[in-house]
């Protein structure tokens, strides 16, 4: 199969649109060469000849000598089929005749194609015969027959534009290609927000979009682009308002004064543009950015209606980030993980640390409809759906608490209650994911309850149960993920939190402290069980955990903030 790519962007290979065309081409090659999903790492080379039966030629219009048509009609009368201008257009016509698929790739310029490409299109005149005819598909009135047999040749039109959407902006282009190729006879991919494809900080979203373009290429090679891929391609890269703030900020010109702004201010404005106002939690937050290497400071006010950047007239900061701009840019571009950089003390955070913990909620990137789990997290509905499927510490705690409170009061009834809790609690919390510790709890509490039922001494079994509980917590600290992290991750973005070293370290410390408390609890439990107030052992043993609970709430805010503050 011969594929011709005509890149009509004056930017040549640095074109946004060309990236889409490359992705589409890669998809076609994958499908034809059978590389899709094999993970073979074999690269479908998009440049020049490629292996097997796919041959690719690329024409960079910006590097070619293609002059404008002289309107002399000599290609029709004096030298039929041959233009009188001796430039590169002869080669273009040869390639058009050679290609089975022609991919036209260009930016939208004034609602049409760029001028140089329009020259190339005009200069296709020698490919037509001069006679008057009507088109079979009745597009327009009047046409000229083709000089060559073009049947079976296919056309793909790929274009990006600068406005937030392609919708309503491509009438001119569609009309042109309807006349050139026939309505419905070509495949189109038109994408708004094209300039975002050159912003490394947004590559998570643009790469996702490119993956849909690639999928479209694969599907196209096998027949047609599927409805779901089409839908993903039609999705906006970012919501209109967010995109327009980013676009406005990118010019680096102050909206009021028209003055040039510093790179750091532009960067801060673009960061502010990514704020998701649906994350507003009832009070305005002020994020202060101090770029330590340049000694520049700005504030981003995160409010109900959106964000704004302050250059002066600062408010009291909720959270202050002290960072070299180079570090923050690397984080933004995804070159280093923010949490990792924090652990390596590459930047500091002062003030309220919760803004950092919930960073993805405030500034998370957007995913398309088919974005999968990562995308789902980005929408309020998705977040709800994710939290429904989270874990719950209640499944693990309730059976133990029932056992500890009920057994000292009445061994037989208490142990039956313990067994009942092990059976019922997982059912009551059926919508939550079960952890290893939920299952282990079921086994331990049931086992201990049965031992009491069979007449085991409560004064021994109760302390043993506390010890088993403490052991479960302490031993979990030796693993990669400590026990509490499996549950508290729900409040910190789900599974992603488990990759955050600071989150895991905080949980490891807390899990160990709780583990030690319960490894010691058997000592006074044994003593209490021998006294007259043995029936209240469960209640007495709740006092220290209650205090420990208060400490936990404080520690899980204080410790990360302490590390972050340097
Ligand atoms: C001269 C000129 C005219 C443009 N006209 C439009 C336009 O009419 N509508 C639009 O949405 N974007 C317009 N744009 C923006 C480009 O289409 C957009 O930046 C595109 O992504 C550039 O793609 P490229 O990198 O492939 O050249 C125009 C840009 C230039 C330079």
What separation in Å is there between the alpha carbon of 26 and the centre of ligand 1? 24
For residue 242, the CA-to-ligand 1 centroid distance in Å is: 19
Whether residue 41 has pLDDT greater than 60: no
Atom number of ligand 1 nearest to Cα 159: 26
Bigger pLDDT: 194 vs 489: 194
* Beta carbons of 94 and 51 less than 8 angstroms apart: no
Ligand 1, atom 8: nearest CA belongs to which residue?
A: 110
Which pLDDT score is estimated for 6? 98
What band does 365 get if pLDDT is binned at 50, 70 and 90? low
Q: Does residue 94 register a pLDDT over 80? A: yes
* Sheet arrangement for strand 2-7: 55-60, 2-7, 101-107, 154-160, 186-191
Q: Return d(Cα 517, Cα 466) in angstroms, integer.
A: 9
Give the model's confidence band at 50: pLDDT under 50 very low, under 70 low, under 90 confident, else very high: very low
Confidence at residue 546, expressed as pLDDT on a 0 to 100 scale: 93
In this structure, the dihedral spanned by the alpha carbons of residues 547, 550, 554 and 556, taken in order and rounded to 10 degrees, is 100
Give nearest CA residue, ligand 1 atom 21: 194
Q: Which of 19, 107, 110, 114 to mutate to test the pocket of ligand 1 (most atoms within 8 A of CB)?
A: 107
379 pLDDT more than 80: no
Cβ burial 245-270 (10 Å sphere, 16+ → b, else e): bbbebbeeeeeeeeeebeebbbbbbb
Residue 244 Cα to ligand 1 middle (Å): 15
For ligand 1, atom 15: residue with the closest CA: 162
Which atom of ligand 1 sits closest to the CA of residue 160? 21
Furthest CA-CA distance within the chain: 120
**C-alpha span between 174 and 157 (Å, rounded):** 9
pLDDT grade for 366, boundaries at 50, 70 and 90? low
Q: What's the confidence (pLDDT) of residue 52? A: 60
Q: What are phi and psi of 550, to 5 degrees?
A: -65, -40
Give me the mean pLDDT over the 36-62 stretch: 63
Q: What are the residues whose beta carbons fall under 8 Å from the beta carbon of 487, sequence distance 6 or more?
A: 391, 392, 393, 396, 435
Q: Computed from CA positions of residues 396, 359, 375, 206, in that sequence, does the dihedral angle turn out positive or negative?
A: negative
User: For 395-417, what is each residue's pLDDT tens digit?
Assistant: 999 999 999 999 999 999 999 99
Reported confidence tier of residue 391, pLDDT bands at 50, 70, 90: very high
Atom of ligand 1 at shortest distance to CA of 197? 21
The confidence score (pLDDT) of residue 376 equals 35
Does pTM top 0.85 for this prediction?
Answer: no
* Alpha carbon distances (Å) from 54 to 29, 48, 50: 7, 10, 6
Closest to 485 measured CA to CA, from 393, 401, 409, 386: 393
Question: Given this model, what pLDDT does residue 16 score?
Answer: 98
Asked if residue 221 lies in contact with residue 177, where contact means CB atoms within 8 angstroms, the answer is no
pLDDT digits (tens, 9 = 90+) for 515-554: 999 999 999 999 998 898 888 888 888 899 999 999 999 9
- The residue whose C-alpha atom lies closest to atom 4 belonging to ligand 1 is 109
Asked whether the predicted pLDDT for residue 387 surpasses 60, the reply is no
Return the ∠ at Cα 137 (arms to 134 and 141), rounded to 5°.
Answer: 40
CA distance 228 to 436: 37
* Residue nearest to ligand 1 atom 17, measured at CA: 161
Comparing CA positions, the residue from 556, 564, 212 lying closest to residue 367 is: 212
Residue 209 to residue 214: CA distance in whole angstroms:
9
Ligand 1 atom with minimal separation from the 9 CA = 27
Q: What's the rounded mean pLDDT across residues 426-432?
A: 93
Cβ neighbours of residue 292 under 8 Å, at least 6 residues apart? 322, 323, 324
First to last CA, the chain: 60
What's residue 263's pLDDT?
93
- Measured in Å, residue 112 CA sits from the centre of ligand 1 at 9
Report the CATH fold assignment for 242-368: Nonspecific Lipid-transfer Protein; Chain A (3.30.1050)
Q: Report domain extents, the chain.
A: 2-237, 242-368, 389-564
Does residue 390 contact residue 433 with C-beta atoms inside 8 Å?
Answer: yes
Lowest mean pLDDT among 52-61, 381-390, 452-461: 381-390
Judge whether residue 91 has pLDDT over 70.
yes
Residue 12 has pLDDT above 70, yes or no: yes
Are residues 212 and 368 in contact, defined by beta-carbon separation less than 8 angstroms?
yes
Task: State whether residue 196 is helix, strand or coil.
Answer: helix
Instruction: Quote the pLDDT of residue 354.
Output: 83
pLDDT in tens, 312-359: 999 999 999 999 999 999 998 888 888 889 888 899 999 988 888 788
Q: Quote the pLDDT of residue 35.
A: 64
> Between these two residues, 382 and 446, which has the higher pLDDT value?
446
CA of 460 from ligand 1 middle (Å) equals 79
How many whole angstroms from 12 Cα to the centroid of ligand 1?
14
CA of 109 to the centre of ligand 1 (A): 5
Among 11, 162, 170, 244, which residue has the most ligand 1 atoms within 8 Å of its CB, making it the best to mutate? 162
**Hey, which residues does 307 pair with through a beta bridge?**
302
Residue ID of nearest Cα to ligand 1 atom 29: 109
Residue 21 Cα to ligand 1 middle (Å)? 16
Q: What is the CA(183)–ligand 1 centre distance, in A?
A: 24
Q: Report the residue among 23, 105, 194, 198 best suited for mutation to probe ligand 1: largest number of ligand atoms under 8 A from its CB.
A: 194
**Residue 492: predicted pLDDT:** 78
- The Å distance, Cα 27 to ligand 1 centre, comes to 25
Nearest ligand 1 atom to alpha carbon 11: 27
% of the chain surpassing 70 pLDDT? 92
Give residue 192 CA to ligand 1 midpoint distance, Å: 10
How much is the pLDDT for 13?
A: 97
**Rounded mean pLDDT, 488-492:** 85
Section 176-205 average pLDDT: 95
Q: Which residue's CA is the nearest one to ligand 1's atom 7?
A: 110
Q: Which atom of ligand 1 is nearest to the CA of 163?
A: 11
Atom of ligand 1 nearest to the CA of 106: 26
Confidence of residue 490 (pLDDT cuts 50, 70, 90): confident
Which spans in 294-435 are helix H? 325-332, 338-343, 354-357, 359-363, 372-376, 380-388, 393-409, 411-428
User: Which superfamily does 2-237 belong to?
Assistant: Flavodoxin domain (3.40.50.360)
Query: How many whole angstroms from 107 Cα to the centroid of ligand 1?
Result: 5
Pocket lined around ligand 1, Cβ cut-off 6 Å: 9, 11, 15-18, 107-111, 160-163, 169, 194-195
Cα 9 to averaged position of ligand 1 atoms, centre (Å): 9
For the chain, percent helix, then strand, then coil, each to nearest 5? Answer: 55, 10, 35
Say what percent of the chain tops pLDDT 90.
Answer: 76
Taking the centre of ligand 1 as the mean of its atom positions, its distance from the CA of residue 476, in whole angstroms, is 56
Closest ligand 1 atom to Cα of 14: 25
Over range 139-152, report the average pLDDT.
94
Task: Mark 31-62 as b/e (b = at least 16 C-beta within 10 Å).
Answer: bbbebbeeeeeeebebeeebeeebbbbbbbbb
pLDDT of residue 388: 54
Which ligand 1 atom is nearest residue 18's CA? 26
Q: What is the mean pLDDT of the chain?
A: 90
* 99-125 pLDDT tens trace: 999 999 999 999 999 999 999 999 999
Contacting residues for 138 by C-beta, under 8 A, at least 6 apart: none
Q: Which residues pair with 290 in a beta bridge?
A: 297, 322
């Amino acid at each position: 199969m011969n594929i011709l790519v005509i890149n009509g962007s004056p930017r040549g290979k640095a074109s946004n649109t060309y990236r889409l065309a490359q992705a589409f081409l890669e998809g076609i090659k994958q499908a034809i060469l059978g590389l899709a999903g094999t993970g073979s790492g074999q690269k479908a080379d998009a440049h020049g000849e490629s292996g097997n039966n796919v041959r690719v030629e690329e024409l960079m219009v910006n590097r070619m000598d293609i002059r404008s048509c002289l309107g002399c009609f000599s290609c029709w009368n004096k030298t039929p089929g041959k233009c009188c201008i001796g430039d590169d257009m002869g080669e273009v016509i040869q390639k058009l005749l050679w290609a089975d698929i022609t991919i036209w790739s260009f930016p939208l310029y004034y609602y049409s194609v760029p001028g140089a490409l329009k020259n190339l299109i005009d200069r296709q005149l020698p490919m037509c015969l001069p006679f008057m005819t009507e088109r079979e598909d009745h597009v327009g009135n009047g046409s000229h027959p083709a000089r060559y047999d073009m049947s079976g040749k296919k056309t793909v039109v790929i274009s990006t534009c600068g406005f937030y959407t392609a919708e309503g902006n491509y009438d001119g282009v569609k009309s042109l290609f309807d006349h050139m190729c026939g309505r419905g006879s070509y495949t189109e991919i038109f994408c708004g927000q094209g300039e975002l494809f050159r912003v490394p900080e947004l590559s998570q979203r643009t790469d996702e979009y490119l993956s849909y373009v690639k999928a479209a290429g694969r599907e196209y090679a096998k027949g047609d682009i599927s409805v779901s891929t089409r839908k993903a391609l039609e999705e906006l890269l970012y919501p209109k308002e967010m995109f327009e703030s980013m676009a406005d900020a990118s010019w680096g010109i102050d909206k009021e004064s028209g003055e040039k702004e510093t790179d750091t201010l532009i960067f801060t404005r673009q960061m502010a543009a990514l704020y998701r106002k649906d994350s507003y939690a009832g009070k305005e937050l002020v994020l202060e950015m101090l770029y330590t290497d340049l000694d520049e400071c700005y504030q981003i006010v995160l409010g109900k209606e959106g964000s704004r950047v302050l250059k002066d007239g600062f408010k009291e900061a909720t959270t202050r980030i002290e960072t070299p701009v180079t570090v923050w840019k690397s984080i933004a571009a995804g070159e280093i993980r923010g949490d990792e950089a924090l652990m390596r003390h590459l930047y500091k955070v002062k003030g309220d640390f919760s803004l950092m913990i919930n960073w993805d909620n405030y500034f998370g990137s957007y995913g398309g409809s088919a974005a999968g789990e990562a995308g789902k997290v980005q929408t309020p509905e998705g977040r709800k759906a994710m939290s429904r499927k989270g874990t719950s510490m209640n499944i693990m705690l309730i059976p133990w608490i029932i056992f500890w409170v009920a057994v000292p009061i009445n061994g037989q009834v208490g142990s039956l209650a313990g067994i009942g809790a092990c059976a019922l609690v997982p059912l009551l919390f059926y919508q939550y994911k079960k952890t290893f510790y939920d299952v282990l709890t079921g086994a331990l509490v049931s086992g201990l309850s049965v031992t009491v039922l069979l007449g085991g001494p409560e004064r021994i079994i109760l302390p043993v149960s506390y010890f088993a509980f403490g052991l479960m917590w302490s031993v979990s600290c030796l693993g990669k993920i400590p026990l509490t992290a499996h549950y508290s991750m729900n409040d910190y973005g789900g599974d992603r939190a488990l990759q955050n070293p600071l989150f895991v370290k905080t949980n490891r410390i807390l899990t160990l402290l709780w583990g030690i408390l319960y490894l010691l609890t058997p000592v006074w439990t044994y003593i209490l069980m021998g006294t007259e107030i043995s029936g209240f052992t469960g209640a007495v043993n709740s006092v220290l955990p209650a205090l420990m609970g208060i400490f936990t709430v404080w520690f899980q805010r204080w410790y990360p903030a302490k590390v972050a503050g340097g």
